[in-house]
Amino acid sequence: MARDVSDTTPIGARAELVEWIAEGEKPRETWRLGTEHEKVPFYTEDAAPVPYDGKKGIRALLEGLQERTGWSPIMEDDKPIGLLDETGGGAISLEPGGQFELSGAPLRTLHETAQETAQHLADVKAIGETLGMGFLTLGMSPLWTRAETPVMPKKRYRIMTDYMPKVGSLGLDMMYRTSTVQVNMDYASEADMVKKLRVSLALQPVATAIFANSPFTEGKPNGYLSMRSRIWLDTDRHRTGMMAFAFEDGFGYERYVDWALGVPMYFVKRDATYHDVAGASFRDLLHGKLAQLPGERATRSDWANHVSTLFPEVRLKRYLEMRGADVGGPEQIVALSAFWTGLLYDEAALDGAWELVKGWRAEERERLRADVPKLALKAAIAGRSVQDIARDALALAREGLKRRAHLDASGQDETKHLVYAEEIVASGRTPAERWLERYHGAWGGSVRPAFSECVF
């Protein structure tokens, strides 16, 4: 989840909200990719969850990383809740249940993404080891109940925690028990955004399937290969999903803004105070008619913060966010970025991807989204298996990465970062299925071995 921003410039009209998104347009030569990943910390001694406070808690982890990296603390009241690299643009933040997130800097190549991920994990492991912590490479915490899961001291999360049960049965599980990988991508124009959004929305369940990695809940198999993805199906239908309207004629910035305006707010932040306005309308704030804050008018910060609380499978801000994958190990994290970079940052690959998906009907896309959490690569759409579609999409991505022709120091191009995903699809066995085999075999029906095998 995004950091809250501070920009008190007043906004008084819908057109300014549209313009805010349009400001994200960038020429191709300045396109970058940003990779974000979350990971669940635990104590290696007994596989217990890690609280915020205490000599060996999350706060101590943040303080150790601050000293090691020189990154600046992000504070809420007197508590550090993250770190910011003020020169490079990366950040560390905390998810509601203590999931430790790197929001990577905007980088030019996948080689840089791999280096950034490796450096971050080396830093986290170095400090974590001094505190007796490890970090899981699973898309959902496999053992603890929600009641056993720690709560981080962030005010926006308190508001969301109160609101979530009113709009879905699994929203609190999403907040407190899941971990994801996200890839952020640029666009050149409104037309470019629309094309990329449609392709990535349609293929998001395919990415979910390839990287499915959350088969355990509270100590046993949960019946899904991506329980994290299943949880999103019953979190808050107003702000989640496949956005069928994005495929309608005339879709663009304005239509997205109108949808966002229809999604209820969580909060309005003024200085250090979070005002709970859960369920209220941003339109009322825009017109100075918000009942909870009479006379208060919307600012650019309010809009940026509101847009960051929308959770469709692909989110539009001033860049596009691919939001459909479970976290995994370092290769899995970078492979997801490679998948989307190859498809979206090469025109021929993007055209080919659109040919793959353009004939799918809205109801077929919705059915695929519902089937993938359980079936993953064995799900099907329009008479084709996801495994077959994934094979085609990866071939397009590989050619796109070849044409980008970004070489590392050893002369290898970015296709090397796609191999992990290609091997999964070739085998037809997701990471989740491999862990389930371990559970029913070598693990002897216990998830505790995950805390030594499914770790960074």
Cα separation, 341 vs 108, in Å, equals 10
Collapsing DSSP to helix, strand or coil, 36 comes out as strand
**Res 248 pLDDT > 80:** yes
Which residues are bridge partners to 136 per DSSP?
455
Q: Please give the pLDDT value at position 7.
A: 87
Query: Cα(426)–Cα(429) distance, rounded to whole angstroms?
Result: 8
Query: Between 58-69 and 110-130, two packed helices, what is the crossing angle to 10 degrees?
Result: 120
pLDDT over 60 at 180, yes or no: yes
Q: What share of the chain is helix, strand, coil (3-state, %, to 5)?
A: 45, 15, 35
- In whole numbers, what is the pLDDT of the chain averaged over residues? 97
Alpha helices in 345-385 (DSSP H): 347-357, 362-375
Tell me the residue length of the chain: 456
Reported as a single tens digit per residue, the pLDDT across 395-419 is 999 999 999 999 999 999 999 999 9
Average pLDDT over residues 427-451: 98
Euclidean distance between CA atoms 140 and 226, whole angstroms:
9
Residues 6+ apart with CB under 8 A from 212: 139, 225, 226, 229, 326, 372, 373, 376, 430, 431, 432, 433
pLDDT tens for residues 272-306? 999 999 999 999 999 999 999 999 999 999 999 99
**Is the pLDDT at 444 greater than 60, yes or no?**
yes
Identify whether the C-beta of residue 40 lies closer than 8 Å to the C-beta of residue 99: yes
Phi and psi, residue 337, nearest 5°: -60, -35
CB 300 within 8 Å of CB 11: yes
pLDDT at res. 1: 46
Question: Residue 281: helix, strand or coil by DSSP?
Answer: coil
pTM, rounded to two decimals: 0.97
Asked whether the beta carbons of 307 and 317 are under 8 A apart, the reply is yes
| Statement: residue 2 has pLDDT above 70 | no
**DSSP-derived 3-state class of residue 325:** strand
How far separated are the first and last CA of the chain, in Å rounded? 21
Decide: 256 and 318 in contact? Cβ < 8 Å. Answer: no
Average of pLDDT values for 119-132?
98
Amino acid residing at 75: M
Q: What is the pLDDT of residues 33-70, one digit of tens each?
A: 999 999 999 999 999 999 999 999 999 999 999 999 99
Quickly list H helices, 385-449.
386-404, 419-427, 431-440
Local structure of residue 312 (DSSP, 8 states):
E
Give the start-to-end residue ranges of the domains of the chain.
Answer: 14-453
Write the CB contacts of 347 (distance below 8 Å, at least 6 apart in sequence): none
pLDDT band at residue 97, thresholds of 50, 70 and 90?
Answer: very high
Confirm or reject CATH 3.30.590.20 for domain 14-453, answering yes or no: yes
- Reply yes or no on whether the pLDDT at 3 is more than 60: no
